[in-house]
Every structure is written in C-alpha cells, then in structure tokens.
Amino acid sequence: MAAEIRTFSCLNDNFGYLIHDPETGATASIDAPEAGPILKALDREGWQLTDILITHHHGDHVGGVAELKQKYNCRVVAPHDKAAKIADVDLRVANADVVKIGNLLARVLETPGHTLDHVSYVFDNEKTVFAADTLFSIGCGRVFEGTYPMMWDSLLKLRALPDDFKLYCGHEYTASNVKFALTVEPDNAALQARAAEVAKLRAENKPTIPTLLGEEKRANVFLRADEPQVAAKLHMKGADAAAVFGELRERKNKS
Ligand code: ZN
Ligand code: FE
C-alpha cells in the first residue's frame, strides 16, 4: 500500500508534513515547526505519531518537538550534531543512513549550506524527497552557515534524483521565488508555465507543493547555475557554476 502524505501550514509560511504507512500505522512528521497544527492533522486522520524526522536545527523546524514527544513518546531523528543544539533526540543520522518508518524507508541525504547540519529525507519507493530549506520550488534556502560551493553541491545532489520524484520543501516561498527567477530567465517557458500555475494556486489559497523535480530542473534558476545562458545573463560567461550560483543567491537576498 502506498504511503499517505498530508500537507498543511504551520507558523507564518512553514509547511507541516505527515507521512503515514497504512500497513503498520507508523506516522512521521517531517520537522515540527509548532505542535498545534501537527496535533490537529493527526487527530483529523486518527493517526498516532511514531517519529519526527528533523532536517536542521532552526527554531521554525524544531519548535514543536518537545510537546509532540511528550504526548506521543515518539522517536526523534535528527542530523549528526555539528554544534547544533537539537534537544530530545533519540537517533542521530548521517549521509546514506536509512531510517524505517514502519515499512517506509527514508534515506538520509546530507545537504549542508543553509545550515551545516541540514539533511534531506529521500523516500525512494515513494519517489518523494523532503528537502526543507535546501531546495524550495523555484528557489533555494539562504546560505547561513555554509559556503556557496557547499550549497551548490547540495543542490546538485538533489538535482541528481529522478525527474518523477516529488519535492516537498520547508516553506511556501514559491510566488516570491518565481518573481525573482523571471528577472533572470524571463524567456524560460517552463518557468513561465510554473508562474501561471503558482498564481492560480495562490489565488485559490492552495499550496504550491509538491512539485516534480523534473519541472524544477527546467524552471528553477538556482538548479540552473551551470546553464551557459544563466551565466551570460549575469555577465559571468565561463565562470564556475558555484560562483554563478553565489551571484544568484546574493541577488535574491537583495531582491
Ligand atoms: Zn531554516
Ligand atoms: Fe525554515
């Protein structure tokens, strides 16, 4: 039986996600921005929380952990400590570790840059990746703790996943990302199509997530820093892709 995934909003613009294994009843929350909406979603479905998979140490991803752990005594899975202070952790994971959520398998992909501890969780059988604040739809996270080459390398790891994988990210930033991406690639047809789709979804107050990785590869300028036309647009012909990526990220910061 296929995994069931629920998407809902938390805090201002965070996404909450539950992934549920109907065979065993196991249910994981991907991050825990705040307890309230996660408890409500569990109640709605009649699911018991068995696991929390934490992607990185930022408060808007771990704020609900203590309350959920107290209520469900669930297992808390988090990246290996890199000076990050995540409390209540039961299992520390590193690159290529596989975590079982009932019969579902979550593969750990280290994707540092936004923070040094950031990991993404890849459910290969479900063709699904939870990339939190590394890769957004038509955008990427700010590079707070790592370097541009480090973040670019993390984006390449995500880009290497198959086109038919669904991307679930940490924040609803897609409309703002689209606006910026169009300043760099106004003639990108895939981006134009995504822009129309996002405008429609937002007008209906619907989430823009999930998206397909294949579409992101064509429309997300941050995954396209090694395209010659992107470098040319930034007057960086022949420059290293990581440098082009860094320039994109800095322009977005100022936009
Ligand atoms: Zn973050
Ligand atoms: Fe965040």
The per-residue pLDDT for range 63-101, each reduced to its tens digit, is 999 999 999 999 999 998 766 678 889 999 999 999 999
Residue 235 confidence (pLDDT) above 90: yes
| pLDDT averaged over every residue in the chain | 97
Sign of CA dihedral 155, 101, 80, 61: positive
Per-residue DSSP letter, 171: B
| Averaged pLDDT for residues 234-247 | 97
Amino acid at 68: L
Instruction: Calculate how far, in angstroms, residue 145's C-alpha sits from the geometric centre of ligand 2.
Output: 13
Instruction: Calculate how far, in angstroms, residue 61's C-alpha sits from the geometric centre of ligand 2.
Output: 6
Residue 114 confidence (pLDDT) above 70: yes
Q: Interhelix angle for 35-45 vs 65-72, to 10°?
A: 40
pLDDT at 151: 98
Place of tokens 């808390």: 76
Give 18-25's long-range contacts (Cβ < 8 A, gap of 24+): 18/42, 18/45, 18/47, 18/49, 19/101, 19/104, 19/123, 19/126, 19/128, 20/45, 20/47, 21/101, 21/102, 21/103, 21/104, 23/102, 23/103, 24/102, 24/103, 25/50, 25/102
Instruction: Calculate how far, in angstroms, residue 14's C-alpha sits from the geometric centre of ligand 1.
Output: 10
Q: Where are the domains of the chain?
A: 4-254
Give me the residues near ligand 1 (ion), CB cutoff below 5 Å.
Answer: 58, 133
Instruction: Calculate how far, in angstroms, residue 140's C-alpha sits from the geometric centre of ligand 2.
Output: 11
Q: pLDDT digits over 4-24, tens only?
A: 999 999 999 999 999 999 999
Please, are residues 191 and 182 in contact by the beta-carbon 8 Å criterion?
yes
d(CA 81, CA 85) in angstroms, rounded, equals: 7
Helical H segments across 46-147, by residue range = 59-62, 65-72
**Whole-structure pTM value:** 0.97
SS3 state of residue 103: coil
Q: pLDDT digits over 127-182, tens only?
A: 999 999 999 999 999 999 999 999 999 999 999 999 999 999 999 999 999 999 99
- Beta bridge pairs of residue 92: 78
Largest CA distance in the chain: 55
Residue 120 confidence (pLDDT) above 80: yes
Q: pLDDT digits over 175-233, tens only?
A: 999 999 999 999 999 999 999 999 999 999 999 999 999 999 999 999 999 999 999 99
| Structural class in CATH, domain 4-254 | alpha beta
Instruction: Calculate how far, in angstroms, residue 170's C-alpha sits from the geometric centre of ligand 2.
Output: 6
Residue length, the chain? 255
pLDDT at 82: 61
pLDDT at 86: 86
